[in-house]
Each structure stands twice: as C-alpha cells, then as structure tokens.
Amino acid sequence: MAEQNGEKDDQVDQKRRDLMKSIGLSMGALALGGVSAFNYLLPTTKDLPVMSNYPVAVLVDPEGNPITSSQIPEASPDSTVYPIIVFNYPLQDEPNILLKLKGTSIPGGVGPEGNIIALSGICQHLGCTVPLLMYFPHGHIPFEAQLIGYNENNWPEYGLLYCKCHGSQYDPLEGLHNLYNSGPAPSPANHSLPMVSLYVDPDDDHMYAMGMNSESAVIRTHLWEPNGEVHGPEVVKENLSGGTVLPLYNGSTPLSMASKISGNIYETIVVTSSNGPWPGTF
C-alpha cells in the first residue's frame, strides 16, 4: 500500500512539475508575444507552495466550445434578472462569478467596453459559495436584503453581489475594491471579493482566465494560516496546495492564443442558471 501511495504521489508530483513547467513557458511566451503580462504577474508577497504560477485557461461552454465576450449577457440598471454565470478557477471546485454590466466600464474590466469582470464566488466572510452568494441587479433585491433595510431607493444602480448566509455585500462596479458598506446594514465580510485577471483575445474574442489580480484579496479558501487563520487586508499569503488542477483544453475550435504561447492552455467550463445551451436566453 505504501508503495502504491508512493507511486501516486510521484504521479501527482510529476503532473505538478509538468504544469509548472508549461505555465512558466506560457508566461514567457506571452511576454514575448506582445500580450500584456501585467495583469497576471504574481505578487512577490504571496506564497505558492504548489503552483509557481496560475494556469492560462480558456472559458468554454458545457460542450467544450470557447465562449466569446460578446456572448455574455449584460445587466443594466433596469434589469430584473441576471443569470448565475460561474466557472472554476484557478483550481477545480473554486467558483467565480462572471458578470457584464451594460453602459458602464468597471475598474479592471475587460472586453471592448471594459465592462466584464469575474469575482470569486466564495464569500470572504465565512466561505459560503454560489448560489448563496450571487449577483442581484437593481430590479431584483433579494428578500434577505430587504429584511436589513434595502429597497429600490438604496439598492445600487448596478446592483450588488449579496451573500444570503449573513448579508455580506459587494459592489461589482468597484472592480477589485468591491466590498460594500454604504447601505443600511454593514457587510459582515471585511474585505473585497478576489478578482480573476481575465483576458479577451482581440483576434477571436475568446476569453481566458490568466490568474488572480495581484492587488485583490486572497481567495477565502486559500488563506495561509501558519499561525492561525487571519482575516482582512493583512492577509498576504495564498495557499494553492492540495487542489485539483483544471483539465487541458480539449475542444476542436482553434484558439488564436495557441499561436501566442508555447505552453499548454487549460479549460474551465462556464455554467449558467439558464435553460438550454450557452448562452441561453435571458
């Protein structure tokens, strides 16, 4: 049994070495290929015991076809519904909420109008995830938020991400500084939702997750706790150990990105709350 475990550990270690090698190649090639590396350079203050860098992952629909930024539905100030749009990153089982706001740009947003962002779907308070944490546009104030004093006059124009567990609130319009404490009740969370560094390839409009924004908070489940769990802006270390890496891109659609990097491209499936195939009707 010990021998079997040893073989398994060796296989896992080899996969990790391969991943780290391929990601290193990807980053170097991207820098050379003229694609800005600014958004996904790792902060030197974070501790990454397993992955030396984040994977480059193309966003695909459940059939494995890359989605385009133009396909993402938009939420406007008069929207009454918005689908849950989620993908895992940087590891499996780590949801992020994909969101596009109509008629406004967002700090750190991507796409032709700079209005597309992806924020962690893991609440920074105690870790509740989608769908307990989700986006509610201006025309859809959740019942739980109404109980703490929100109404159509004080629910922000472009809505909030609201966690039904204990009422944490995050303003997507503020990009990576999205913690919201301007409403009738304070947010139990004490820092913003981490922000995924997205990239839209101008050649084919395909979308990629390239890392976590180095200025944003650490993903709630990545808190590094050498001396006990720490919360707030003092958290500077991120622990990616023990997770499952994303699969390699397996679709038949050629990716323009493939000619810009020499390393592997991984994939992450975008799932929605809508009926029918992506992007469905909203």
Residue 94 or 201: which CB sits closer to ligand FES? 94
Name the minimum Å distance from CB 169 to ligand FES: 9
Name the minimum Å distance from CB 89 to ligand FES: 20
**Best CA proximity match to 188, nearest among 129, 124, 131:** 124
Q: Which residues bind ligand FES (CB under 6 A)?
A: 123, 125-128, 163, 165-168, 188
Residue 109 or 172: which CB sits closer to ligand FES? 172
Name the minimum Å distance from CB 124 to ligand FES: 7
Residue 60 or 163: which CB sits closer to ligand FES? 163
Non-local (6+) Cβ contacts of 28 within 8 A are 262
**Contact present, 132 and 122 (Cβ < 8 Å):** no
The neighbour count for residue 65, using CB atoms within 10 Å, is 14
Residue 137 or 167: which CB sits closer to ligand FES? 167
Strand, helix or coil at 26?
A: helix
Name the minimum Å distance from CB 132 to ligand FES: 7
Write the DSSP symbol of residue 223. Answer: B
Residue 99 or 163: which CB sits closer to ligand FES? 163
Name the minimum Å distance from CB 125 to ligand FES: 3
Name the minimum Å distance from CB 128 to ligand FES: 4
Strand, helix or coil at 104?
A: coil
Q: In what order do the strands lie in the sheet with 85-88?
A: 116-120, 95-100, 85-88, 271-272
Residue 125 or 138: which CB sits closer to ligand FES? 125
Helix and strand counts by DSSP (H, E) for the chain: 2, 11
**Best CA proximity match to 129, nearest among 137, 138, 121:** 121
Sign of CA dihedral 187, 216, 119, 220: negative
Ranges of beta strands (E only) in 164-241 are 169-170, 196-200, 207-212
Tokens of 135: 């986006």
**Pairing label, strands 57-60, 266-269:** parallel
Name the minimum Å distance from CB 221 to ligand FES: 12
φ, ψ (nearest 5 deg) of residue 115: -120, 20
Residue 48 or 123: which CB sits closer to ligand FES? 123
